[in-house]
Amino acid sequence: MPKNYAFIGLFGSGKTEVAINWALKLREEHEKVAIIDGDIISPYFRTRDVAEKLEKLGLVTVYPKGALRNADLPVITGAAIGYLVNEEYKTVIDVGGEENGVVVLGYLKPYLGNVEISMVVNIARPFSSTVDGIIKAYEILRSVARIKVDYLINNANLSYETTPELIHKGEEILSKVSEIIEVPVKFSVVPDFIEEKNFKFPVFKIHRFIEMEKL
Amino acid sequence: MAERVLVKGTEAIGEAAIRAGCRLFFGYPITPQNELPEYMSKRMPEVGGTFLQTESEVATINMVYGAACTGTRVMTSTSSPGFSLMQEGISYMACAQLPAVLVNVVRGGPGLGDIQPSQGDYWQATKGGGHGDYKLIVLAPSTVQEAVDLTVLAFDLADKYRTPVVIIADGVIGQMMEPVTFPEFRNLNTLPKHDDWALTGANGREKHIVVSFDIDPHVLEKMNLEIVEKLRKIEANEKRWEEYKLEDAEIVITAFGTVGRIAKSVVEQARKEGIKAGLFRPITLWPFPYERLEEISKGKKLILDVEMNMGQMLEDVKLAVKDHARIEFYGRMGGVVPTPDEIFEALKKFLNV
C-alpha cells in the first residue's frame, strides 16, 4: 500500500474534491492522515479554504499558515516535505491545475517516496472532453512533472447536475484512453446524491466540500 | 439541446466572447481573473483569433482602443487595480464612441487590496471611472450561465450604441464552476461592419477619422451632446433587472452579482420563518432601473441593500426609493463574502425580531 497519494489534472477536473474525500477515506483506517494544499494556481476554492472543517474531521491540513495563507504567491510550505517523508503519516497531496500547477510535483519528487499518482479527468470540461484532448493533457502533465501516472480517475461531473449517464459516458471515454496509454482506471467518482451503483469501474462515493449558494 | 459543460466564470466569459465573434483579446495578468487570458491564449489560435499579452494595463487598453477603431469585436479583462490603470484609455474610447467589452473581475480594495472577491468597484464602473462626461453600460452577472449570456449581450450592445461595455464580475463569479450551455458560434460575416465610421483603409472612399478630442470648445460640446443623446437612448431602452418573490413581499433585499445569488438563500430562509422577503437584483448597474425599484418600494416595510462594499449601489437605491420606504444597509468589505446566515441575522435585527 502506498504511503503518499498525489492527484493531478487540468483546471477544474475536481482534484481538490477527490483529494479531500480520499484523505477522509484513508482516515477511516489510519490515525494520522495529512492533506497538503499544493495548489499554487487557484486563488480560492482550495483545500485551505475548508481547512478548519477538515481539521475537525481528523485530518492534518498542510498549507502556508499565517499571512501567507491568502497571499497571491506560489508558496509550498516546508512542512509539506515533512509530512511526505514522515512514515507515521499517510499523506495526500492536492496539486494545482495545468502544467504550471503540476510543476510542484516535480519539485517535490525527491520526497514523494512510495507514492501513487492519479490523474483526475472530467469529460464535461473544455479541453478534456475527447480521447485526444485527455491524452494531450496526460502527455503534458507527466512530462512537466517528470513523473509516472499510475491511475486515471473518472470524475465526469457537472457539479450538482451530474447524472449516472454522464458518469457512464466518462467511463466509456476513459476506457479508450486507458487502452491507448496503458494506464488503468482506478475508480469512477460518484457524488453522494446519486443512488446508482452499477458502474464499469469501482465506485468512489464523494461528498462535495467546496460549494457556493446554488440557484 | 446544446451540450452542458462545467466551466469557471472566467472561462465562461472567454468562450462566450469567442462565440459572439470576438477574435481579438489583449490582456495583462492579475489575480483573480488569470484564467480568462489563459483560456484565450489557448482558444484564440484554435479559432483563427489573436491573443496578445501586453506589458501593462495601460498598453492593453490602448491596444483595445486601436483595435476598436477598426470596428472589430475586441475584449480585455482585468481586476480592480488593473481597471484603474485603464481608466484614461476608457475615457478616450467613450469620447471616440468605440465598441469594446471590458471585464473587471473585482477584488478587495482600495489600493493593492487582496485577491478575494469584492464589489468595491461599483462607483468606478457606474459613475465614470475616468475623466469627463460619459457613462458605460455595466452588466453584473450572478451565475456562470448569466455571465455567458451577458457577455454575448455586451458585444451586441457595444456595437449597437458604439460604446465600451463593462462586465463587472466579482472574484466568486470568476472562480466558481457551474454547468452552462454556450450559444452557437456567430457567423463573423453577419457581425456589424461599421462601414460608416470604422478605420478599414479608405481605398477610394472618403476617409474616416476617429478622435477623442476637438480644440474648438463648441465642436467638443457638440461631440459631448451626441454622447449624451446616446446615453439617454440607452437609459430608455436597456435597463435590466431580476425580481424574485416580490409579488407578496413586505421586505425587499436589493443586491447585485454574487450577493444577489446569496440573497436568494436569505429570501428562502426568511420565508421559512414567516418573513415575506423578496429580491430586486439590478442586472444593468448602469443604466440603473430606478423607476422599477421605486414602483416596487412603495408600501414596503423595509428595503435592505446588501453589498460587498461600504454601500455603493446604496446611493442608487436611495435615489430610486426616495422616501417611499425605510432603507437599511448591510455590507462586508476587504474580500469578505457575507454568508446567508449573517445577512438574515442583520435583517432580523433591523426588523427587531
Confidence (pLDDT) at B36: 96
Length of chain A: 215
A163 touches chain B (CB under 8 A): no
Residue-wise pLDDT tens digits, B244-286: 999 999 999 999 999 999 999 999 999 999 999 999 999 999 9
A209 touches chain B (CB under 8 A): no
Specify the CATH number for the domain of residue B337: 3.40.50.920
B173 touches chain A (CB under 8 A): no
Confidence (pLDDT) at A213: 55
How far is A75 from A71, CA to CA, in rounded Å? 9
Quick one: cell of B111?
A: 489600493
Together in a domain, B32 and B111? yes
Inter-chain touch A158–B6, beta carbons under 8 Å: yes
A128 touches chain B (CB under 8 A): no
Residue A199 domain flag: yes
Q: What is the mean pLDDT of chain A?
A: 92
Together in a domain, B252 and B229? no
Residue-wise pLDDT tens digits, B293-308: 999 999 999 999 999 9
Angle of helix B9-19 versus helix B35-46 axis, rounded to 10: 30
- Domain of residue A72 covers 4-206
Cβ-based neighbour number of residue B171 at 10 Å: 30
Together in a domain, B23 and B39? yes
Q: How many domains does chain A have?
A: 1
Confidence (pLDDT) at A215: 44
Confidence (pLDDT) at B184: 97
3-class SS shares of chain A: helix, strand, coil, % to 5: 40, 20, 40
Asked if the model's pLDDT at residue B1 lies above 80, the reply is no
Confidence (pLDDT) at A72: 78
Q: Count of A–B CB contacts within 8 Å?
A: 67
Q: Is the dihedral of CA B317, B105, B92, B129 positive or negative?
A: positive
Question: Which residues in chain A have Cβ-Cβ distances shorter than 8 Å to B265?
Answer: 213
How far is B287 from B239, CA to CA, in rounded Å? 6
- Domain of residue B327 covers 242-351
A67 touches chain B (CB under 8 A): no
Residue A32 domain flag: yes
Together in a domain, B228 and B252? no
Residue A113 domain flag: yes
How far is B2 from B184, CA to CA, in rounded Å? 9
Together in a domain, B82 and B215? yes
Inter-chain touch B42–A42, beta carbons under 8 Å: no
Inter-chain touch B15–A70, beta carbons under 8 Å: no
Segment A13-41 mean pLDDT: 95
Quick one: cell of B208?
A: 474616416
Together in a domain, B151 and B295? no
Confidence (pLDDT) at A11: 84
Confidence (pLDDT) at A212: 60
Residue whose C-alpha cell is 421605486: B294
Please name the residue of chain B whose CA is at the shortest distance from the CA of residue A97: B35
Question: Which residues in chain A have Cβ-Cβ distances shorter than 8 Å to B178?
Answer: 159
Picking from B219, B237, B255, the residue at the C-terminal end of a domain is: B237
- The ipTM value here is 0.88
Question: Which residues in chain B have Cβ-Cβ distances shorter than 8 Å to A42?
Answer: 175
CA-based nearest distance B251→chain A, Å: 20
How far is B325 from B211, CA to CA, in rounded Å? 46
How far is B78 from B121, CA to CA, in rounded Å? 12
Question: Which residues in chain A have Cβ-Cβ distances shorter than 8 Å to B172?
Answer: 212
Q: Is the dihedral of CA B63, B65, B68, B74 positive or negative?
A: positive
Asked if the model's pLDDT at residue A80 lies above 70, the reply is yes
Query: Which of A43, A126, A160 faces B32 most closely, judged by CB atoms?
Result: A43
Together in a domain, B30 and B141? yes
Residue-wise pLDDT tens digits, B20-56: 999 999 999 999 999 999 999 999 999 999 999 999 9
